[in-house]
């Protein structure tokens, strides 16, 4: 440890056990933190590195160069690498199988004296930091902090302002608190009080080694066991509530998690626990549960300064390296699904934490894998989930979304319990999201008559229209659609093209065809464009139902922005609309839209596109409600499920009323 600490430096202490609970999630500031090497020693050349301390929020603190060099010299390279592959001594060096690629003959060499490693098979090599970067898919700052944790070295963080130190200090306190709660739960799993939880885990095929690896825990069935423990450890009541481990009751603080199996939710690096998921044991409801109805099967930590559900994925800390190696990540629904799949050697599986997938989740995954595979039921809910996921993935820049269709009545944990062979069979059935959706539409259609076959292939048009590559689109038509409906692929493609060029009927408004070059590829965005073009150019054609259109009916931020400007313009004239827009680039695009040719200019067509826009918004909301019922079905109370079912029925009536022209004023 360096004898000199620069003025203003701050020591940050972790709280979790050192056993594979790795380094804090960090990433370099732009410019000046990339990994540089010098000569054959592969030594990172940098004076200091900028880090991100919590939840991806930048903090202007640096790890000093003295710490980086001292830690490199202190680390036992053979011990670090030995956790990932077996090493055998060969003179002053060690040899083994390379953990970075598949091989049968050892070509991996470690030289502890020089602090270097090299694989003669794949050509990779470097120091301890480079090894952790490669094997764990870490950035350089993450590798430094991971190595510091493994060796018990305290890093020095420099150049923080007083405000940054205060904010970091508060987040550090909350992270330390949640980490202490994780230890409390984990320790109680192995006491007499946790025997029922251990029995349940054993029934699910999980032994002590698995419980240790995933740091599972048990929340005692007491009102304030954790509250007392954390208070005695020096944490304040407000901190317990802010960290999401306690709630305020009439007689004081109560443990949020009581009588539940605990799943700690780590940050992406695996260093810090951010929150928890808690599951009641079958046939053993907590004695401290509310008396009005059965407790939900799962509860999760509420959002906090350190835990944001839309950004966190359960198991990413364990899955990131394998996801990067396979260039694929598998997204499932539950904590037990992730654990079961990892135990079945599918170590690239993650899950959302009691919430639907978000664009931010996809952005997190895109850092590690080009392909995201969703485990979905092959039903209407799965179709809606795939549709929503594709839109979110496109927004986040994920290049490929695929689906693992689940057998009826089974979840990924059931597959894993059936054995590795069954899992491999299921993974072999992974298909692209569009293929999954087209197959579902065709499977649920009546293709026993010519009329049914025609209706079936036309149902696939909105999906086919989203495929910009005409060759790829033709492959879907030829290989999937045409064999089912017993028509030639050329005939179906010709009708798809014709439908796009003649959008004069109500069917053509809703059937998405291949877009014209000047139009968006997405049929929803084309519909929004038509509506806004009408509002700009021919407001006299807008039907009375235009007054019921709202900002929520548009999915594109640009469309919503223009709609708000239209609503805010005093006269509704183009000049007023342009003045309400934020910048010249937006005004330029709106001027072009206002001057583009209208496909048709009659009131009937205007009414059709307005109604289609509103029905599409209702369909999206119905899909979201169904997805919530499906993804959170185990967590919802009976009343919540009834309320959601009632909401779906209400939306269906509204949609049908718009379609049939029976909508009230």
pLDDT at residue number 380 = 82
Residue 7 has pLDDT above 50, yes or no: no
Residue 369 clears pLDDT 80, i.e. is over it: yes
pLDDT at position 393 is 87
pLDDT at 335: 96
Cα separation, 121 vs 425, whole angstroms: 31
pLDDT at residue 138, rounded to an integer: 77
Residue-level length of the chain: 665
Which tens digit of pLDDT belongs to each residue from 44-68?
333 345 444 333 333 445 777 888 8
Rounded to an integer, the average pLDDT of 421-430 is 86
Model confidence band, residue 258 (pLDDT cutoffs 50, 70, 90): very high
Contact 60, 50 (CB under 8 A): yes
Residue 239's pLDDT is what? 94
Per mean pLDDT, which range of 17-26, 371-380, 424-433, 481-490 is the poorest? 17-26
pLDDT beyond 80 at 598: no
Residue range(s) of every CATH 3.90.980.10 domain in the chain? 168-307
CA 149 to mean position of chain CA atoms: 27
As annotated, the residues of the chain forming the CATH 3.40.1360.10 domain(s) are 311-442
pLDDT: is 516 or 188 the higher one?
A: 188
Q: Which CATH architecture has domain 168-307?
A: Alpha-Beta Complex (3.90)
Query: Does the pLDDT value for residue 294 go beyond 50?
Result: yes
Helix (H) / strand (E) containing 95? strand 93-96
Query: What are the residue ranges of CATH 3.90.580.10 in the chain?
Result: 10-160
CATH class of 311-442: alpha beta
Contact 279, 298 (CB under 8 A): yes
63-76, pLDDT tens digit by residue?
A: 778 888 889 888 89
Residue 610 sits at the vertex; the CA angle it makes with 609 and 612, to the nearest 5 degrees, is 60
Q: Compute the C-alpha angle 279/268/397, nearest 5°.
A: 110
| Mean pLDDT for all residues in the chain | 81
pLDDT band at 23 (very low <50, low <70, confident <90, very high): very low
Q: Is the pLDDT of residue 282 over 50?
A: yes
| Span 255-281, average pLDDT | 94
Residue at token pair 């933190």: 33
d(CA 119, CA 135): 13
- CB neighbours of 491 closer than 8 A, spacing ≥ 6? none
Q: How confident is the model at residue 112 (pLDDT cuts 50, 70, 90)?
A: confident
The neighbouring-strand residues paired with 423 are: none
Return the pLDDT at 664.
Answer: 61
Question: Who contacts 105 (Cβ-Cβ below 8 Å, separation ≥6)?
Answer: none
Residue 511 CB burial class (10 angstroms; 0-12, 13-18, ≥19):
buried
Share of the chain above pLDDT 90, in %: 31
5's tokens: 């600490």
Q: Which of 145-149, 153-157, 213-217, 442-446 has the lowest mean pLDDT?
A: 153-157
* CA atoms within 13 A of residue 319's CA, in its CB half-sphere: 31
Closest CA to 371 of 398, 349, 332: 398
Q: Which residue has the higher pLDDT, 188 or 444?
A: 188
| pLDDT value at 1 more than 50 | no
Asked if residue 4 has pLDDT above 70, the reply is no
Query: Is pLDDT at 267 greater than 50 in this prediction?
Result: yes
Output 329 or 383, whichever has higher pLDDT. Answer: 329
pLDDT surpassing 60 at residue 116: yes
**Distance separating alpha carbons of residues 578 and 585, to the nearest angstrom:** 11
| Closest residue by Cα to residue 368 from 425, 324, 334, 413 | 324
CB 152 within 8 A of CB 7: no
Token output for 323: 């996801």
Place of tokens 């909350």: 174
Residue 338's pLDDT band (cuts 50, 70, 90): very high
Q: CA angle, corner 454, sides to 452 and 456, nearest 5? A: 65
| In the predicted structure, residue 161 carries a pLDDT above the cut 90 | no
Q: Of the given ranges (332-341, 378-387, 606-615), which has the lowest mean pLDDT? A: 378-387
Instruction: Give ranges for CATH 1.10.860 in the chain.
Output: 518-665
According to the per-residue pLDDT averaged within each range, which of 433-447, 574-588, 591-605 is highest? Answer: 433-447
Of 238, 259, 353, the closest CA to residue 301 belongs to: 353
- State mean pLDDT over 294-317: 91
Say yes or no to pLDDT of 496 above 80.
yes
CA distance 430 to 208: 32
The region of weakest confidence among 212-226, 361-375, 499-513, 538-552 is: 499-513
Calculate the dihedral angle through the C-alpha atoms of 625, 629, 630, 633, rounding to the nearest 10 degrees: 160
Tokens of 341: 């799949």
Q: Is the pLDDT of residue 188 over 80?
A: yes
Kindly report the backbone phi and psi dihedral angles of residue 256, in degrees, each rounded to the nearest multiple of 5, phi listed first: -70, -40
Residue 26 above 80 pLDDT? no
C-alpha distances in angstroms, 503 versus 468, 498, 513, 613? 19, 9, 9, 15
Residue 442 CA: distances (Å) to CA of 309, 426, 492: 35, 21, 14
Residue 39 has pLDDT above 50, yes or no: no
CA-closest candidate to residue 635, choices 351, 277, 216, 241: 277
- The pair of three-digit structure tokens given for residue 493, joined into one six-digit string: 């493609």
pLDDT of residue 41: 33
Tell me how far apart the alpha carbons of residues 102 and 82 are, in angstroms, rounded to a whole number: 17
Question: In the prediction, which pLDDT does 169 show?
Answer: 66
Spatial CB neighbours of 345, under 8 Å, sequence gap ≥ 6: 420
pLDDT of residue 205: 93
- Classified by CATH at the fold level, domain 518-665 comes out as DNAb Helicase; Chain A (1.10.860)
Query: Distance (Å, rounded) from C-alpha 478 to C-alpha 11?
Result: 63
Homologous superfamily assigned to 10-160: Zinc finger, CHC2-typedomain (3.90.580.10)
Q: What is the pTM of this model?
A: 0.59
């Amino acid at each position: 440890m360096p004898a000199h600490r620069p003025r203003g430096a701050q020591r940050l202490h972790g709280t979790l056990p050192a056993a594979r609970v790795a380094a804090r999630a960090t990433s370099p500031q732009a410019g000046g933190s990339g990994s540089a090497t010098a000569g054959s020693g592969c030594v990172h050349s940098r004076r200091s590195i900028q880090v991100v301390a919590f939840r991806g929020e930048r903090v202007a603190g640096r790890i000093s160069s003295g710490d980086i060099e001292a830690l490199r010299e202190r680390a036992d390279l053979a011990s670090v690498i030995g956790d990932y592959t077996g090493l055998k001594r060969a003179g002053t060096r060690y040899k083994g199988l390379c953990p970075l690629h598949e091989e049968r003959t050892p070509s991996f060499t470690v030289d502890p004296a020089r602090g270097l490693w090299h694989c003669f098979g794949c050509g990779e090599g470097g120091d301890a930091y480079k090894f952790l970067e490669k094997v764990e898919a870490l950035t350089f700052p993450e590798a430094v902090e991971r190595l510091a944790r493994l060796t018990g070295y305290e890093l020095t963080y420099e150049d923080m302002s007083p405000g940054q130190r205060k904010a970091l200090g508060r987040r550090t306190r909350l992270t330390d608190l949640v980490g202490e709660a994780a230890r409390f739960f984990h320790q109680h799993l192995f006491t007499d009080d946790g025997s029922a939880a251990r029995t349940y885990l054993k029934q699910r095929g999980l032994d002590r080694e698995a419980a240790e690896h995933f740091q599972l825990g048990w929340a005692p069935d007491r009102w304030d066991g954790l509250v007392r423990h954390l208070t005695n450890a020096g944490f304040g009541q407000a901190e317990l509530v802010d960290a999401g481990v306690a709630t305020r009751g009439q007689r004081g603080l109560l443990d949020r998690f009581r009588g539940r199996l605990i799943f700690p939710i780590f940050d992406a690096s695996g260093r810090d626990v951010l929150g928890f998921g808690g599951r009641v044991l079958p046939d053993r409801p907590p004695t401290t549960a509310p008396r009005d109805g059965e407790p939900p099967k799962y509860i999760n930590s509420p959002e906090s300064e350190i835990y944001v559900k839309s950004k966190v994925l359960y198991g990413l800390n364990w899955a990131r390296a394998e996801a990067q190696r396979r260039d694929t990540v598998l997204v499932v629904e539950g904590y037990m699904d992730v654990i079961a799949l990892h135990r079945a050697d599918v170590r690239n599986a993650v899950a959302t934490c009691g919430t639907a997938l978000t664009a931010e989740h996809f952005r997190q995954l895109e850092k590690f894998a080009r392909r995201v595979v969703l485990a979905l039921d092959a039903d209407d809910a799965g179709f809606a989930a795939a549709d929503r996921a594709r839109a979110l993935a496109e927004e986040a820049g994920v290049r490929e979304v695929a689906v693992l269709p689940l057998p009826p009545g089974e979840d990924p944990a059931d597959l894993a319990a059936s054995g590795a062979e069954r899992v491999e069979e299921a993974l072999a059935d992974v298909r692209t999201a569009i293929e999954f959706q087209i197959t579902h539409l065709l499977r649920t259609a009546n293709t026993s008559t010519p009329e049914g076959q025609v209706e079936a292939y036309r149902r696939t048009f909105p999906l086919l229209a989203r495929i910009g590559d005409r060759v790829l689109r033709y492959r879907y038509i030829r290989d999937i659609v045409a064999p089912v409906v017993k028509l030639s692929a050329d005939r179906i493609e010709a009708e798809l093209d014709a439908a796009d060029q003649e959008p004069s009927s109500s069917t053509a408004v809703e059937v998405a065809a291949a877009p014209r070059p000047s139009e968006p590829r997405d049929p929803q965005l084309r519909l929004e464009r038509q509506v806004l073009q009408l509002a700009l150019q021919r407001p006299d054609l807008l039907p009375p139902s235009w007054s019921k259109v709202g900002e929520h009916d548009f999915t594109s931020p640009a469309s919503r922005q223009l709609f708000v400007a239209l609503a805010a313009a005093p006269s509704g004239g183009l000049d007023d609309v342009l003045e309400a827009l934020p910048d010249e680039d937006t005004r330029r695009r709106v001027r072009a839209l206002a001057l583009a040719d209208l496909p048709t200019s009659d009131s009937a067509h205007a009414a059709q596109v307005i109604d289609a826009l509103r029905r599409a918004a209702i369909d999206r909301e119905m899909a979201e409600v169904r997805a919530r019922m499906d993804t959170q079905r185990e967590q919802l109370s009976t009343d919540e499920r009834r309320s959601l079912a009632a909401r779906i029925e209400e939306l269906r009536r509204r949609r049908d009323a718009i379609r049939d022209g029976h909508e009230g004023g």
